Amino acid sequence: MRIGIDLGGTKIEGIALGDDGSVLLRRRSVAPRDDYQETLATMVTLVREIEREVGGIGSVGVGIPGTISSETGLVKNANSTWLIGRPLAADLPRMLGRPVRFANDANCFALSEATDGAAAGADIVFGVIIGTGTGGGIVVHRRVLTGRNGITGEWGHNSLPWPREGEWPGPPCYCGKSGCIETFLSGPALARDYQASGGPSLSAVDIATRAGAGEPLALRSLARYEDRMARALASAINVIDPDVIVLGGGLSNIDRLYESVPTLWTPFVFSDRIGTRLVRAAHGDSSGVRGAAWLWDKMWT
Ligand SMILES: [Zn+2]
């Protein structure tokens, strides 16, 4: 079996996948906040419990917020700050007595969808998670591109391309810059745009629902959002030319994006014909943990 662990800020999720991708078992624990040693112990317990219940041992892949630095071997860029600077990639394999593969959680999402999800069979896949932030991962021929700096796919902190009036310099971003794609495409960004145009404080999905009911303010806000998403994705298409772009996260539940955005990106993509498809994630919230399991592409014995 392949075991995947998704190390989140509030929960640690474990899954065991069979050879064909079927779910053998799922387990979930509360993430011990601000405690690295407890985090390690929880992960080990999760793996042992899964193996005891399913019977047998499995390969272990782990999706983490942030990445393992190729220079130091330590965790970096994690929003679960108690992991930063910790030797997770050395400690967990030692405690489990086997090699463990690690990848950024957005990369795991992309791998899951490219393996047996909405982009199954596609050569080049750009997986984009849009929720409270924007993350991305690139999978080519079913392999995650990790990158020299461990930041492949992190297009959310590029600036919004082809800015229109009023979009420059753009809202401040937590990364220290202004006008990052994330400051226009995250859920909070859509909510802020709607409020700034005179609407009440609502979640992104509620705004989409109001747009569906024909509310003019929500319709205009969503139209701006789609135009921005189209330009942001077009800049990614021009670089990696993916077969499929898979959307995950809360905003991926807005149905009309899949029709409107590919129409709107046409003028910005440097090609007379565009075969790239924009699709919704097939595995929903499970993509991260499934992708962690798929970090071992060949069956491990
Ligand atoms: Zn930023």
- For residue range 37-71, list pLDDT tens digits in order: 999 999 999 999 999 999 999 999 999 998 999 89
- Which residues have their alpha-adjacent CB atom under 5 A from ion ligand 1? 157, 173, 175, 177, 180
CA of 156 to the centre of ligand 1 (A): 7
- Position 109 confidence tier, pLDDT thresholds 50, 70, 90: very high
- How close is the Cα of 169 to the center of ligand 1, in Å? 12
CA of residue 217 to ligand 1 center, whole Å: 27
pLDDT at residue 104 above 60?
Answer: yes
Residue of 90, 92, 89, 98 whose CA lies nearest to 58: 98
pLDDT tens, 183-231?
999 999 999 999 999 999 999 999 999 999 999 999 999 999 999 999 9
Both tokens assigned to 19: 């050879």
* Measured CA distances, 156 to 210, 225, 234, 272 (Å): 26, 14, 13, 26
Cα–Cα distance, 268 to 177 (Å, whole number): 24
Specify the pLDDT at position 301: 41
Q: What pLDDT is recorded for position 298? A: 64
Long-range contacts of residues 40-48, Cβ cutoff 8 Å, at least 24 apart: 40/88, 40/91, 40/92, 40/95, 42/12, 43/5, 43/7, 43/12, 43/92, 44/92, 44/95, 44/96, 46/5, 46/12, 46/14, 47/3, 47/5, 47/14, 47/96
> What tens digit of pLDDT does each residue of 129-187 get?
999 889 999 999 999 998 988 899 999 999 999 999 999 999 999 889 999 999 999 99
Please check whether residue 222 is in contact with residue 208, taking contact to mean a CB–CB distance below 8 angstroms: yes
Average pLDDT over residues 246-264: 96
Measured in Å, residue 99 CA sits from the centre of ligand 1 at: 34
Distance 224 CA to ligand 1 centre (A): 20
Determine the distance separating the centroid of ligand 1 and the alpha carbon of 235, expressed in angstroms: 16
The partner residues of 76 in beta bridges, in order of sequence, read: 67
pTM: 0.94
DSSP 8-state class, residue 300: P
Residue type, 62: V
Query: Does pLDDT of 234 surpass 80?
Result: yes
CA–centroid distance, 47 to ligand 1, in Å, is 35
Distance (angstroms) between ligand 1 centre and the Cα of 200 equals 26
